[in-house]
Amino acid sequence: MTDRAGVPMTLAALRALARAKLRAVGLAEDHAEAVAETMVAGERDGCASHGIYRLLVAAASVRAGVVVPDAVPVVSRPGKALVRVDGGGGFAQLAFARGLPVLVAAAREHGMAALALNHVVHFAALWPEVEALAREGLVALACTPSHAWVAPAGGTQPVFGTNPIAFGWPRPAGDPFVFDFATSAVARGEIELHRRAGLPVPEEWGYDAEGAPTTDAKAVLDGAMRTFGGHKGSALAAMVELLAGPLIGDLTSRESLALDDGRGGSPVGGELIVAIDPAGFLGEATAAHLARAEAMFAAIEAQGARLPSARRYAARAHSLSEGVVVPAALHAEIMAIGAAA
């Protein structure tokens, strides 16, 4: 059923549609399943800029030749507590899935472990990854560069990517504590959604190509985004470049954009994920100290403040029972992918 507002879909139907369209543009079955799951998770949790809209982004990257559609991730162990997955130029989702059980086992054995994803294509948020680790009882931190779209504080020309940072904390009962944010003032996908809707953006989001402040979404996309929090976001963006670039032998955001060479594909590079087993530090006292963390969460919520991810979990509960509504125009574009293939 289609109406002016959108197309109601169950999550199962949305998942099947995403997989079919990804296969239609040539993505191998295992990649299509992993990539589709990330998109469905975004839509399910009310994150439109990281939801099924990203199907258009992923399909464009495959068609542009940015992605190796049938890449086979290779897992290795450069150190006892270090895991590396060479994604072979494929999307990051399958590489992470292959590295996840190895990372979990290493963190439990050594108390702390790190996973480097190399040679992968990124288009999605990082919270599904740290949430997966937190549900295994681990504390997780993840970061990745992207394309050079963001100007450093005090400048107006792109150097950094949106460079997200995500963190997950396991909770004894209920959903993990998770946050995920770009070090840019806003996610690039949010600006793109404004452009598609013909809406202006706040002036503090970015500059045009000449370095002047602008409220025109396309001008920001063609110019430079700003970091959040001025010099603080700029420093965090630089940290992400270093941790998930040179430290793991992968690309910076400027190098990723240069490699793209005007194709307009998603960023290519690496990702660093650190996992810590609380029991490695705390042993038999683990439960008592996790309870202290719960006291902090309770103090936050008691005064009416919202924990990060609470909105997503609420949206998830609704979507699991009621499904989602895909905007009609977006649904039409998605359906055209199969028709054009």
Please list the active-site residues: 49-50, 190
List the structure tokens of 97.
């899935």
End-to-end CA distance of the chain: 24
Residue linked to tokens 């005064």: 303
Tell me the C-alpha distance between 16 and 162, whole Å: 30
- Spatial neighbors of 224 by CB under 8 A, at least 6 apart, are 149, 150, 151, 156, 157, 158, 206, 207, 211
Tell me the C-alpha distance between 294 and 276, whole Å: 18
Q: SS3 for 335?
A: helix
List the structure tokens of 163.
């460079």
Tell me the C-alpha distance between 163 and 234, whole Å: 10
Question: If phi over 0 gives left and psi between -120 and 50 gives alpha, with beta otherwise, what is residue 203?
Answer: alpha
Q: What's the full length of the chain, in residues?
A: 341
Amino acid 298 reads A
Tell me the C-alpha distance between 252 and 248, whole Å: 11
Bridging pattern class, strands 165-169 and 139-143? antiparallel
The pair phi, psi for residue 140, each rounded to 5°, is -135, 145
Going edge to edge, which strands form the sheet with 165-169? 74-79, 82-86, 112-121, 268-276, 139-143, 165-169, 177-181
Do 88 and 270 contact (CB within 8 A), yes or no?
no
Q: What number of helices (H) and strands (E) belong to the chain?
A: 13, 11
Tell me the C-alpha distance between 147 and 192, whole Å: 15
